[in-house]
A and B are shown apart, each in its own frame.
Chain A
């Protein structure tokens, strides 16, 4: 065994646990391109996922793994396209996609028809849009410049995701939007989630009202 072989073997042994051979952004792009989607859809999906990777909402591995699960799902291409576009558009619009990705993965794992999953993803994306608008009204936005107004992206994304999840779960559990429990449920969840800092929690606790949340919940009820 010569020196080069030894060094190569050493490099592989050392680097494998560190993920050196993990997917790259090019792999993500190639995977999207390999799906039988219209060129315009491929471009949008690629742009969305690349942006999500660049701003840290998804790691390359998460993006690649998710796309791979969609690509190999065997579902109708129309349903896969609906899901991919909903998530890519969300990434392009600066929305958090954690809830959407998780719901797709859960649907796939439970063996649900992808058209059912796609319908739910489209609906939940609308909820995220409405919750983000509500957060913005209350002063909880992503900080665009150092020392500027706003909060860290991870904190805002967590607050949006948690609030949207509470409202979705509430309605999907058969409860009414105006039963007077939404504010308490939302604040409790935000407080328990270790990703939401006290500054964001305080900003919302002082401004968020039951009526604000009931309005979004009513919209969810009308969509499902």
Chain B
């Protein structure tokens, strides 16, 4: 047997093999689908399950979280939801004090407990607070010791002998 004859024999054998395996694969998709359907088909009486088991577990956690949220709201009473502010608006306090090492604002809106402003460029300090409509007295606390009025206040009043700034917040949150 020469090389050509050997090559033809091998090719013929391989072709036969491939043909045999190809015929075995015919209709395999249908057969797999039928087999799966038989294996996982629900009985006719079983209730329809909307979600896969893993999805159901996730929804259970989400439902628990929602329930906790609602309980929190009910028990929390006046605390309110964090993403609502009852019609409050952001009011920005701004003061230019390049030499100050800290600036805070204290007033009627925060029980006079100083809250720090953030220092921006050119020594301008600022802070935005959510305030409900009303009239507020306040002062800036410079370097933790000096209480100073706001140069941009709506008006000024005397209190305990000191000058307090006054800011008005309207129903739409704008300062007047």
Contact = CB atoms under 8 A, between A and B. Distances in A.
Tier of interface size on chain A: 35 or more
B81 A193 contact: no
A61 B76 CA distance: 10
Contacts of A18: 69, 72-73, 75-76, 79, 81-82
B68 A10 contact: yes
Contacts of B82: 17-18
Nearest to A19: B79
Contact of B137 (A60, A66, A102, A193): A102
Given A59-B78, A60-B78, A10 B106 contact: no
Nearest to B133: A194
Nearest to A14: B68
B75 A110 contact: no
Interface of A: 7, 10-11, 14-15, 17-20, 22, 59-61, 65-66, 69, 98, 102-103, 105-110, 112, 116, 120, 158, 162, 165, 169, 172-174, 189, 192-195
Nearest to B174: A194
B79 A108 contact: no
B160 A10 contact: no
A60 B77 contact: yes
Chain A residues touching B, majority SS: helix
B65 interface: yes
5 contacts: A7-B64, A18-B73, A59-B77, A158-B134, A194-B169
B157 to A, nearest CB: 4
B76 A192 contact: no
B81 A110 contact: no
Q: Taking each of B72, B106, B135, B170, which has the highest tally of chain A beta carbons within 10 Å of its own beta carbon?
A: B135
B79 A110 contact: no
B89 to A, nearest CB: 10
Contacts of A110: 112, 147, 160, 162
B15 interface: no
Contact of B134 (A11, A120, A174, A195): A195
Contacts of B7: none
Contact of A194 (B73, B134, B162): B134
Q: Taking each of B64, B81, B112, B147, which has the highest tally of chain A beta carbons within 10 Å of its own beta carbon?
A: B112
Interface in B25-55: none
Nearest to B61: A10
A100 to B, nearest CB: 12
Interface string B131-173: 0011101000000000100000010011110101000111110
B9 interface: no
B157 A194 contact: no
Given A173-B157, A192-B168, A109 B114 contact: yes
Tier of interface size on chain B: 35 or more
A120 B169 contact: no
A65 B114 CA distance: 15
A150 to B, nearest CB: 21
B142 to A, nearest CB: 14
Contacts of B79: 18-20, 22, 61
B77 A103 contact: no
A195 B168 CA distance: 10
B72 A14 contact: yes
Contacts of B170: 192, 194
Chain A to chain B: the 8 pairs with minimum beta-carbon distance, closest first: A194-B133, A19-B79, A109-B112, A18-B72, A169-B157, A15-B72, A194-B171, A192-B168
A194 B168 contact: yes
A153 B75 CA distance: 25
A110 B68 CA distance: 41
Nearest to A99: B108
